[in-house]
């Protein structure tokens, strides 16, 4: 099918150098993860779909941020350099710097060479592979969809499934609406772009005018994890089936519209 999955935040292998750099040890970095989302997508992968999964932990490099989203309290930037976004200023830039509950994460700032090493070894390969896979699918099908999969902490009044299309800019409206309907039909409370409209992954790889669409999926962690938030809970298979059904239904909808492009 003309559909690709991506998982940027499920990495959970923490190298010794990263743990030594942390102020409070490995467990203090866990809240940055989207726990086990790489396993949640297994049913969708079983349909024959490809999935690009970032193995580097988000604490080391956030693949859902732009390269210029730099926090000067984390990165030793040249004098006068500007950091790139409100997210970086809030401590959630390309290299996360702090958590609301846990405070500052690192013992020291990292230098430009350290940053470049992380980008070159993890961030760029992740995005290059997404671009390559989407290009391959588009050559075969003409129109393609990227589903970028995440999870979110529970908050009172928040929907179980948040679909992000950056306020209508990354996907055709029929895809967003179909995704919403699949979520509701599966029994998940669902909303669009609130509070998560989509990050760098879908922003960087969408080109709706050229038939390359992208949606971000955010699942409430309580819907699939246990009470400790680190292992599968009773809702794990239900959530996995949701991603499978979204992928299947949206992929089939695109197939019905498409005429394969002639080989170049």
Confidence band, pLDDT 50/70/90 cuts, at residue 82: low
Contact 196, 152 (CB under 8 A): yes
With bands split at pLDDT 50, 70 and 90, how would you rate the model's confidence at 262?
very low
pLDDT at 80: 67
The pLDDT value given to residue 193 = 98
Share of the chain above pLDDT 90, in %: 88
Cis omega (within 30 of 0) for bond into 195: yes
Is residue 191 a contact partner of residue 177, using CB atoms and an 8 Å limit? no
Percent of the chain at pLDDT > 70 equals 95
Q: Point out the least confidently predicted range of 139-153, 178-192, 222-236, 246-260.
A: 246-260
Question: Would you say 253 and 181 are in contact if contact means Cβ atoms under 8 Å apart?
Answer: no
pLDDT of residue 17: 97
What is the number of other CB atoms lying within 10 angstroms of the CB of residue 200?
21
Pick the CATH number of 3-16+32-61+112-257 from 3.30.450.70, 3.40.630.40, 2.30.110.10, 1.20.120.1200: 3.40.630.40
Radius of gyration over every alpha carbon of the chain, rounded to an integer in angstroms = 18
pLDDT of residue 89: 79
- Are the C-beta atoms of residues 9 and 64 closer than 8 Å to each other? yes
Q: What is the mean pLDDT of the chain?
A: 94
- Helices 173-185 and 236-257: crossing angle in degrees, nearest 10, is 150
Tokens 């029929």 found at: 174
pLDDT of residue 81: 65
Paired tokens of 152: 């979110």
Give whole-number Cα distances, 83 to 65, 76, 91, 142, 186, in Å. 12, 11, 11, 37, 41
């Amino acid at each position: 099918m003309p559909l690709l999955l991506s998982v940027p935040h499920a990495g959970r292998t923490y190298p010794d150098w990263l743990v030594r750099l942390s102020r409070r040890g490995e467990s203090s970095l866990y809240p940055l993860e989207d726990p086990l989302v790489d396993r949640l997508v297994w049913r969708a992968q079983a349909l024959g779909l490809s999935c690009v999964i970032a193995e580097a932990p988000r604490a080391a490099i956030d693949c859902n941020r732009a390269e210029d989203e730099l926090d000067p309290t984390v990165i030793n930037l040249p004098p006068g350099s500007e950091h790139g976004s409100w997210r970086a200023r809030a401590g959630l830039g390309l290299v996360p710097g702090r958590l609301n509950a846990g405070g500052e994460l690192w013992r020291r700032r990292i230098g430009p060479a350290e940053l470049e090493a992380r980008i070159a070894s993890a961030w760029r390969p992740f995005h290059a592979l997404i671009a390559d896979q989407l290009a391959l699918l588009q050559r075969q099908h003409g129109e393609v969809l990227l589903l970028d999969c995440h999870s979110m902490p529970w908050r009172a009044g928040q929907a179980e499934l948040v679909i992000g299309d950056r306020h209508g800019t990354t996907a055709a409206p029929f895809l967003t609406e179909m995704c919403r309907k699949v979520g509701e039909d599966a029994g998940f409370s669902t909303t669009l772009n609130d509070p998560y409209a989509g990050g760098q992954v879908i922003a960087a790889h969408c080109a709706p005018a050229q038939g390359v669409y992208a949606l971000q999926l955010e699942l409430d962690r309580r819907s699939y994890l246990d009470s400790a938030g680190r292992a599968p809970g009773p809702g794990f298979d239900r959530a996995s089936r949701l991603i499978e059904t979204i992928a299947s239904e949206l992929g089939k909808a695109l197939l019905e519209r498409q005429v394969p492009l002639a080989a170049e």
